Amino acid sequence: MCRWIAYAGPEIYLEDLLFHQEYSIVRQSLNARESVFTTNGDGFGVAWYSKRTAPGLFKDILPAWNDTNLRSLAAQIQTRMFFAHVRASTGTAVTRTNCHPFTWKNWAFMHNGKIGDWHLCRKDMEALISPEFYPMRQGTTDSEALFLVALSLGLAQDPKKAIQDTLRHALRLMDRHKAREPLRVSLAVTNGAEIWAFRYSSDQQSPSLYAGAPTTRALEQGDHHIHTIASEPTDTDPSRWFKVAEATGLHWTPSALQDFAIAL
């Protein structure tokens, strides 16, 4: 299990959310409050959008809480959209290639959760990755596989449909291999302009997911829209966050935040 945060809105420094919050994602790496794993020290990653089409990507296998590079970069990089993730491995190796987010062209993806009995389902799941995307497989996580299967199923054309189709495939393979563990998913994907987030599980125990408006430089200037989707609130003000319901997705665009039912 892991923790993640997605931001989209006025340009801010990465540090506004990664560090300058009472319960920032970096603090969550050492001490998460709503996760099965309180320590998320098996690497981290940030994908941020700047002037280029493709996001920047910075990942490392050290814990986020004492990484000097992350601290310095977060103080320099300004961005209108970023994904950040701290990892607690559930069995796969601690390598940069297993750290989130995963990217392709202008797309980024991150995930907290797991495909039940991944070791049983893995071969069939990876076989669903099309020859076009197969060479992009860098690691061995179920998360990266979800992203590559979704890309193979048309993520770039219809993210909402592709992710749901992918989860349907995962459930089918879990069924085929008689997996005893549930599917639990809390994931986000972006094309650099819009964000789609999904909270779903096969046992109604999805990982926590929230949307909210924590204090940042930008928000201090009067913009109180919801710009943040995250595993857990980054502050202690409950009036500024709402919990995303089970089997529910969010679609963030510059003009609106809409929820939708996930039907698999």
Q: Which residues are catalytic?
A: 2
Q: How far apart are CA 228 and CA 213, in angstroms?
A: 6
60 binds its own copies (CB under 8 A): yes
24 binds its own copies (CB under 8 A): no
36 binds its own copies (CB under 8 A): no
140 binds its own copies (CB under 8 A): yes
Q: How far is the CB of 22 from its own copies (least distance, A)?
A: 18
Q: Cβ(78)–Cβ(71) under 8 Å? A: no
In sequence order, the 6+-apart residues with CB closer than 8 A to the CB of 165 are 150, 153, 154
Q: Cβ(6)–Cβ(85) under 8 Å? A: no
Q: How far is the CB of 82 from its own copies (least distance, A)?
A: 12
135 binds its own copies (CB under 8 A): yes
Q: Which is nearer to its own copies, 66 or 236 (CB)?
A: 66
Q: How far is the CB of 132 from its own copies (least distance, A)?
A: 10
53 binds its own copies (CB under 8 A): no
236 binds its own copies (CB under 8 A): no
Q: How far apart are CA 18 and CA 30, in angstroms?
A: 13
Classify burial at 252, counting beta carbons within 10 Å of its beta carbon; exposed 0-12, middle 13-18, buried 19 or more. Answer: buried
Stretch near its own copies under the rule CB under 8 A, chosen from 135-143, 178-186, 244-252, 254-262: 135-143
90 binds its own copies (CB under 8 A): no
Side-chain half-sphere exposure of 203, counting CA atoms within 13 A: 12
Q: Cβ(228)–Cβ(6) under 8 Å? A: yes
Residue 112 backbone dihedrals phi, psi, to 5 degrees? -130, 120
143 binds its own copies (CB under 8 A): no
Query: Which amino acid is present at 215?
Result: T
Q: Which of 10, 19, 106, 139 touches its own copies (CB under 8 A)?
A: 139
Stretch near its own copies under the rule CB under 8 A, chosen from 137-145, 196-204, 219-227, 241-249: 137-145
In sequence order, the 6+-apart residues with CB closer than 8 A to the CB of 175 are none
| Angle at CA of residue 104, ends 102 and 107, nearest 5° | 85
Binding residues for its own copies, rule: CB under 8 A, are 30-31, 39, 41-42, 48, 50-52, 54, 56-63, 65-66, 68-69, 72-73, 75-78, 89, 93-97, 119-120, 122-123, 126-127, 129, 131, 134-135, 137-140
